[in-house]
Structure 1
Amino acid sequence: MGVACSLYCTLTVSNLSAIVAALQPETISRMGLTPAVTFSLLSDRRRRRLLSLLSDRRAVRIDEAVAWIAACEAETTLEEVPTETKRRVRVSLVHVHLPKLADAGVVDYDPRHGDVVLTDRGETLVRTLSALQLETSPPRSDAPD
């Protein structure tokens, strides 16, 4: 049984060493980010979901990211996401989350073409996210288990 953290992670004996390694000052400083910036970047669920998506694909179009994150939030399939949910997600990604991640050097974002690419610094941040096991909830699938 784990201990719930304020960042929505669960600590267990099996992942404790990975968490400790991810939080070492040397690991965080190799990213070129301060601990405060690292935790700030990981503090928002939409940013964590975007990083999770990028960890699988390395690059996505903004429309794909919007649909995927909106489906997570609506707890539905990609096809059933309400238009209003997609609109809210798009606005927050374009005006808040992508600029913040790009300013930190975690993603390269081209607003003209809608491309979002995970950088090397971003890969290190994704490993930290993975070690912390922060909740990212993929969209629901209608495929049988």
Structure 2
Amino acid sequence: MSLQRDTLERETVYSLLANRVRGYLLRYLSITDRTTVSEAAQRIADWQRETTATTFESDRTAVLVQLVHNHLPRLSQYDVVEYDRTTEEITPSSNFEAVAPYVSDLEISIDHQ
């Protein structure tokens, strides 16, 4: 069920960005333009731990579960992202540009491997 509009209301944008995991995901998409659930979960877990050296598999798994069961459905509902459950691919959707200016200031590195 999509709630697509020409543009999202400011309160909706703030609500979507209120969660750090969603903010990190959207910032990463603004840099890469496409990702998978597994890759996004790893990157977000890395950023949350502030180093890849201390990221545990349980951290990545917890983020993955949050993405699949909470954040991706919510972002999809507002057409901010498209999530293909078959390929696990995540891409920006029609309302992505409404949140892009707000996530551009989040400092993250795409160099975590």
TM above 0.5: yes
Taking a change above 3 Å as real, the CA distance of residues 81 and 127 of structure 1, as seen in their structure-2 partners, is same
Q: Is the 8 A contact 1:110 1:116 kept in 2?
A: yes
1:117 aligns with 2:68: no
Instruction: Give how far 1:125 is off.
Output: 1.1
- Give the drift of 1:124: 2.9
Paired residues for 1:117-136 under 5 Å: 117-130=91-104, 133=105, 135=106
Residue 109 of structure 1 aligns to a residue whose secondary structure is strand
Q: Equivalent residue for 1:53? A: 28
* Pairing 1:63–2:65 present: no
Q: Which deviates the most, 119-128 or 52-61?
A: 119-128
The one-letter code matched in structure 2 to 1:75 is E
- Aligned pair partner of 2:69 in 95, 99, 121: 95
Contact persistence 1:106–1:120 (CA under 8 A): yes
Structure 2 counterpart of 1:40, from 10, 15, 27:
15
What's the CA shift for 1:113?
1.1
> d(CA) in 2 for partners of 1:140 and 1:71?
11
* Other-structure match for 1:74: 49
**Max Rg structure:** 1
Unaligned stretches of 5+ residues in structure 2: none
Cα 1:60/1:139, change in 2 over 3 Å: closer
Contact 1:55 1:123 (8 Å CA) reproduced = no
> TM-score, normalized by length of structure 1?
0.67
Report how many aligned residue pairs link the two structures: 109
Cα shift at 1:76? 1.4
Specify the code of the residue in structure 2 equivalent to 1:71: D
Alpha-carbon distance, 1:141 to partner: 5.4
Q: Against the structure 1 CA distance between its residues 30 and 127, is the aligned structure 2 distance closer, same or farther, given a 3 Å change threshold? A: farther
Give the TM-score normalised by structure 2.
0.84
Whole-angstrom CA distance in 1 between matches of 2:78 and 2:112: 33
Q: Structure 1 runs of 4+ off > 4 angstroms?
A: 139-142
Amino acid corresponding to residue 37 of structure 1 in structure 2: T
Work out which structure has the larger RCO, using CA pairs closer than 8 Å and 6 or more positions apart in sequence.
Answer: 2
Q: RMSD of the alignment, in Å? A: 2.3
